[in-house]
Structure 1
Amino acid sequence: MNSRSPFSFVQDLASRLPGPPQPPQWLVQGVQHRLVLLLNHVLMQEPQAMERLARHSGRVARVQWRQFVVALQMTPAGLLDVAPAQADADLRAELLQGSPIDLARSALAGDAPQVHIEGDVQLASDIHWLAENLRWDIEEDLARIVGDAPAHFISMGVRRVLVALHGFAGRRGSTDHLYS
C-alpha cells in the first residue's frame, strides 16, 4: 500500500527549486555596518563589556544563520568592527533554528536560540556574558529624540504588545500538538 501523501509532489517540487536569491553585496555590507553601529552604541553604555572585549583585540567571531553571515572583529577600544573578508574566525557560532518563525517564537518565549559553537572558549565565554548582561535601554535613547513622557508612553505600549506576543507564543507552543 502506498503511504505517501497525495501532496508529496509539492514537497518534491519545492525541494528542486533554487534557494532564495542572494541579496546584493552592497546591501549586506550596509546592514552589517549598521548592526556594528548599534552593537557599539549598546557596548559603550557598559564599560565592563568594553573591558571584556578589549582583552580579545584582533580576534574575530563569525556568526551564521542560514545563508546570512557576519564576521565581527574586536577592537583595542573594546568595540566591534566588521572583520576583513579574508580574516580567519577565532570563534564560529551557527544558529541551528532554520525557520524564522521558530527563531522568533523562541525569542518571544525568552529562550536562548540553539547554537553550535566552535573555537576560542574564553572568547565564547565573554560573548555569552555580553548576551546575558547587556541590555539596550531603548526608552532612554527614544527620550533623547521625543522627550521623556512620550518615550515612556511608547515603550509601555511596546511592552504590552511584547507581553501579548509572549503569551501567544507560549500558548501556541503548548498547543502545537493539536495542529500537527
Structure 2
Amino acid sequence: MLSSPVINGLNHLLQDAPWARERLMPFAGRSACVVLKPVEISLGIDAAGYFTESATDDPDVSLELPIGSLPKLVGGADALMSDIRISGNADLADALGFVLRKLRWDGEEALSRLTGDIVAHRAVATARNVIGWQRQTARNVIDNLAEYFSEEQPVLVKKTLLEDLGGEAAALRDDIARLDKRLKKLESAKR
C-alpha cells in the first residue's frame, strides 16, 4: 500500500540521477526490504537501475531502522547510519545506502520544467530566504527566552554558574573531610 508511492518518488529522483542508476544496475533482479516498524517497504531493482515492487518474500538484503532513531534525522541521513541494522548481501546494502544517502531532489530543476529557469531560480531563492528568515527568527526567540529565564526571571541556571557552584561544593567537601580528620586526630590524642 505504501510501497507504490515510495517507489514512484524514488524513481522520480533516480530519473535525474544517472550516477545512481549506474550504481544500482549491477544488482538488477535483486530485492531489498526497508523496515521502519511497523512499515515495511519491499524494493526490487530492474535492469535500468530503477526500483520496482519486489515480488519475493525473501529479500537479498534487509535494512531495519528502529523508529526511536528518527529524531536523529535532523542531523542528516549520516546520523542514522549507526542505528541501521543490515542483514543480507553487503554489496547491495552498500550500494543502496550510498544511493539513498546521496539522492537529492532538485526542486529548482523540477520547477524550471514548468515555469522556466529564471522564474524557478527566483522562486527557489525566495523560498530559501524565507526559510532562512524563519530559522533565524526561531533562534532569536530561543536565545531571548533563555536570556529572560536566566537573567530576568532566574528559572534557569547558566552553565558557568553551575560549574562554579560544583567547584565550591567540592572544595567545601574537601575542607569538611580535612576538618573531620583533624577532629578525629585530636580526639585520639586526648585519650
Aligned to 1:5: none
Unaligned stretches of 5+ in structure 1? 1-27
**What value does the CA root-mean-square deviation take over the aligned residues?**
2.9
Aligned to 1:148: 117
Question: Does the alignment pair 1:92 with 2:58?
Answer: no
* 1:109 equivalent among 75, 79, 102: 75
Once the two structures are superposed, residues 107-164 of structure 1 have per-residue CA deviations (whole angstroms, 9 ceiling, x without a partner) of 2332532311111000011112212332221210011123333322332344342785
Q: How does 1:47-58 map to 2 (within 5 A)?
A: 47-58=18-29
The SS at the match of 1:77 is coil
Once the two structures are superposed, residues 94-113 of structure 1 have per-residue CA deviations (whole angstroms, 9 ceiling, x without a partner) of 11233xxx62x432332532
* 1:126 equivalent among 70, 95, 108: 95
Aligned to 1:32: 3
Structure with bigger gyration radius: 2
Aligned to 2:46: 75
Work out the CA distance in 1 between the residues paired with 2:126 and 2:52: 33
- Would you say the 8 A contact 1:71–1:82 is kept in 2? yes
Aligned to 1:13: none
The SS at the match of 1:55 is helix
Identity %: 30
Work out the CA distance in 2 between the residues paired with 1:167 and 1:55: 47
Unaligned stretches of 5+ in structure 2? 147-155, 157-191
Once the two structures are superposed, residues 26-72 of structure 1 have per-residue CA deviations (whole angstroms, 9 ceiling, x without a partner) of xx2xx422221221122222223212211111111100112111100
Higher relative contact order (CA 8 A, sep 6+): 1
The runs of 4+ residues in structure 1 deviating greater than 6 Å are 166-169
- TM-score using structure 1 length: 0.64
Which structure: greater helix fraction? 2
1:122 to 1:163, Cα distance in 2 relative to 1, 3 A: farther
- TM-score using structure 2 length: 0.60
* 1:43 equivalent among 14, 25, 34: 14
